[in-house]
Structure 1
Amino acid sequence: MAQREKVHSLRFNQDHGCFICCMDNGVRIYNVEPLAEELHLKESLAGSVAHGEMLHRTNLLAIVGGGAVPKYADNTVLIYDDRTSRFVLEFTFSAPVLSVRLRKDRLVVVCCRQIHVFSFPHSPRRLFTCETRDNPLGLCEVSPLPSADRHILCFPAHKVGAVQLVDLLTTESTVSQAPLTVQAHKSELACLSVNREGTLLATASHKGTLIRVWDTARRVLLAELRRGSDPATLYCINFSGDSEFLCCSSDKGTIHIFALKDTKLNRRSTFSRMGFLGGYMESQWALANFTVPPECACVCAFGTSSTVYAICVDGTFHKYVFKADGCCNRESFDVYLDLVADDEF
């Protein structure tokens, strides 16, 4: 990969049908099935970009400058309109922006110790700001669908390992509410995910050995999923569209797939009945997994018909199909950075 093609971040859109790639030489957006480049904001327009977020498959996307040759400050969120081919909104903050989340009715901006929520996209205004503990990873997730059962914003709470849950529809800056929290882990959080309906929350700590799945309404633990026994850095967790499965990726180079509805599909240790071994042997292990380049950050998500995609910062695209018996086969491989949209020829 050329140095100017360095990938800073990757993120799927809300239905996992596209992904945004933020690079030193601009921003590229890809369709997943079939794999194809849909948009390229070149360095001359966007500069180098650290973070980006799509709004489903609409004409709007958010970017934050960063990297080798930024054109815009890292404390500014820019909204680009692909229909008019220009930036249409700009939001500036007192601290660097670490991540951005979009819904069709909300813009969420994450800084190290604050999360700002705006109405969006028409006549945007700040609705409220939440104080957080130090959040250098910019952890924050939001239920993506305005028609969802629950409209949840989640982020690290003030206590180590805890997640705060905020109702996006009822929270206002002028109304004081007792914070709703889930004490998910004993150590610092490393990864969060919310399903499309906002009913399930998945969490992982910096140890990276366990993923816990929570009911957001009752704030109770539903499942404990074991990625492995050795510590790892988790890059991504995602639910399937129907919330029947969950996948995760880590620096070990393995994508793990777990069943959430029919948990009998998940593997159990042969020592699980030996009570003296404790919770380690009571956890559920992945029903299937596959390997991508180790130490290479990647994001993963489900497609249709038991497919899982992994998009890596080295420019590679992996598509696997898994079965209930744990069999997992690669269906396609490509180098997405080599793909060029038709209008670039």
Structure 2
Amino acid sequence: MAAYQMNFNQDFTSLSVLSSAGLRLYSIAGQDKVEEIFAKDNTEQIRIVERLFNSSLVVLVTSQKPNCLKMLHFKKKQDICNCFYPSEILCVRMNRQRLIVCLAESIHIHDIRDMKILHSIENIAPNELGLCALSLNSHLAFPICQASGELRIFNANKLRTGMTIKAHDTPLSALTFSPSGALLATASERGTVIRVFCVKNGQRVQEFRRGVKRCVRIASLVFAAAGDYLCASSNTETVHVFKIDNRAVEVAELKAIAEVAAKSDSNAKELATATATTTTKTSSSSAAPAASTAAGTAEEAEATPGSTAASWGGMFTKAMSSLLLPAQVSDVLAQDRAFATVVLPQPGLKNICALTRVQKELRLLIACEDGFLYMHDFNAERGGVCKLLAVHDLRGALEGVIELQLSESVLKAQTPKALPQQSLTMLKSCAASVLIENPDPVADNSYAGILRGEQADAMSDSAKFRKLCDAIDTPTKLYDERQFPPVALTAKD
């Protein structure tokens, strides 16, 4: 395991930090500081941790029991259940409906409310990296070929196999869904080209060029919380942020609607032809504008530099390159470049990114395996190089957190090198079996626990269900029942 293994939750509001010392969970409350909300020693040698949004549910996988998934209510410090699998767990993904466990040659889908196994995808191509992605609306994507970047989309809600997409010529190294689940971004092991596909019909919506270097390892690929940007980090010192073309997404969705109509309606062929014709006319008029329009656009570009002119120029370049240049050269010119970048202090480190709003301001967060969290400003209008605002040291306890507020004068004087371096139930599905083990009961001496009579009962399925729901749901409480009980309790928690 790396010195510090970082991982954001699904909405980028908290961050887990794994090290040889143990596990720490931090809440990203604002730009000024982060708050430690949970700590656990590493006697079990934790190697995978996932938190479900801002709930109390955390799942762990340890090196001592690599085929065991441990579910924890971290606020009460209670184990919920343990799930055992046929082989080593490589990846865990969660949303509010499903929990996905990825093994080397199978994927298991659970209902997160009761951990019942709903389906197992067996005999997939060996996936030694445990590569898979789960959207918030339960679309699941995973590679199905070791020799190329071919993937499959599976509907984990309806338990139906979806389409197959040939994303790259070389094997995949990263994939992620947009928050809405409408888009899927992929990168191959070469790491030079990032592609975005429409989930409805598999059409390629956009293509980005990260760089020209070979053998670049993509460490993080993630959409912004609003789905309008895509962040990519690698083992180089540069983090790239690409802008999603909303118009291209709309065109892809229109085509998907037309394709569905063509299959269900006898008159859909005319509709599909009309939609395709309209799309073609729109693209042609945009790619080859009249001379007078181009002149008018140039005048507007002087008033608003870098906006309209850049758009027309990019379209003209793509149109001309597709007509006059060889296919490979044309593809390179048609690829979009980064909208914004960040240059990190040191190359070769693994960094994970998040582009989200912190105290209503758009911020680019970069968590590095050196143990630091970097916060950058992000200009949604101009893009460019993102300004470093704060650095948080997450290597120790909360008392040891270092918070650096970087003024403009400090930034000018500071070079990148000056920054920190450093009862069992057997559930069978297909050929695989999954064991779900309820842990030894833990006495609940709170007032509510006494009323429920749980303090002396073994954890039944219904009790496990209640604890899971309690961990997943996070309702607002006016007070803590243990701090304000109706009667005096002598029992200690």
TM, length-normalised to structure 2: 0.61
Q: Which runs of 5+ in 2 are unaligned?
A: 248-306, 401-493
Output aligned runs, 1:102-251, within 5 Å.
102-122=94-114, 124-131=115-122, 132-144=124-136, 148=137, 151-158=138-145, 160-171=148-159, 179-231=162-214, 232-251=216-235
- Whose helix fraction is larger, Structure 1's or Structure 2's? 2
Deviation at residue 36 of structure 1 after TM alignment: 2.3
* Aligned residue type for 1:283: Q
Output aligned runs, 1:305-324, within 5 Å.
305-323=361-379, 324=381
Separation (CA, whole Å) in 2 of partners of 1:270 and 1:26: 55
* Aligned residue type for 1:336: L
Alpha-carbon displacement from aligned partner over 1:259-302 (angstroms, at most 9, x marks no partner): 10469789969986553422112100101101222110010011
Please, which of 250, 260, 269 is the counterpart of residue 244 of structure 2? Answer: 260
Superposed CA RMSD: 2.4
Secondary structure of the corresponding residue to residue 398 of structure 2: coil
**Is the alpha carbon distance of 1:96 and 1:269 closer, same or farther for their aligned partners in structure 2, counting shifts above 3 Å?**
farther
**Is the alpha carbon distance of 1:32 and 1:90 closer, same or farther for their aligned partners in structure 2, counting shifts above 3 Å?**
same
Asked if 1:54 is matched to 2:51, the reply is yes
- Whose strand fraction is larger, Structure 1's or Structure 2's? 1
* Aligned residue type for 2:238: T
Separation (CA, whole Å) in 2 of partners of 1:333 and 1:270: 42
Residue 281 of structure 1 is matched in structure 2 by: 333
Deviation at residue 39 of structure 1 after TM alignment: 1.1
Separation (CA, whole Å) in 2 of partners of 1:120 and 1:195: 21
Separation (CA, whole Å) in 1 of partners of 2:245 and 2:315: 19
Deviation at residue 157 of structure 1 after TM alignment: 1.9
Secondary structure of the corresponding residue to residue 134 of structure 1: coil
Deviation at residue 179 of structure 1 after TM alignment: 4.6
Secondary structure of the corresponding residue to residue 281 of structure 1: helix
* Aligned residue type for 1:180: M
Higher relative contact order (CA 8 A, sep 6+): 2
Separation (CA, whole Å) in 2 of partners of 1:153 and 1:262: 23
Residue 69 of structure 1 is matched in structure 2 by: none
Please, which of 320, 326, 334 is the counterpart of residue 383 of structure 2? Answer: 326
Deviation at residue 178 of structure 1 after TM alignment: 5.4
Deviation at residue 5 of structure 1 after TM alignment: 8.8
Separation (CA, whole Å) in 2 of partners of 1:312 and 1:75: 27
Structure ID, larger Rg: 2
Aligned length: 320
The range that moved more, 21-30 or 268-277, is 268-277
**Is the alpha carbon distance of 1:283 and 1:107 closer, same or farther for their aligned partners in structure 2, counting shifts above 3 Å?**
same
**Is the alpha carbon distance of 1:228 and 1:31 closer, same or farther for their aligned partners in structure 2, counting shifts above 3 Å?**
same
The range that moved more, 301-310 or 255-264, is 255-264
Separation (CA, whole Å) in 1 of partners of 2:2 and 2:36: 15
Q: Which runs of 5+ in 1 are unaligned?
A: 67-71, 172-176
Residue 74 of structure 1 is matched in structure 2 by: 66
* Aligned residue type for 1:140: C
Deviation at residue 190 of structure 1 after TM alignment: 0.2
Alpha-carbon displacement from aligned partner over 1:28-52 (angstroms, at most 9, x marks no partner): 11122332222111124xx221111
Alpha-carbon displacement from aligned partner over 1:47-89 (angstroms, at most 9, x marks no partner): 22111111001011111112xxxxx411111011123202211
Separation (CA, whole Å) in 2 of partners of 1:51 and 1:213: 28
* Aligned residue type for 1:290: V
Find runs of 4+ consecutive structure 1 residues off by over 3 angstroms: 261-274
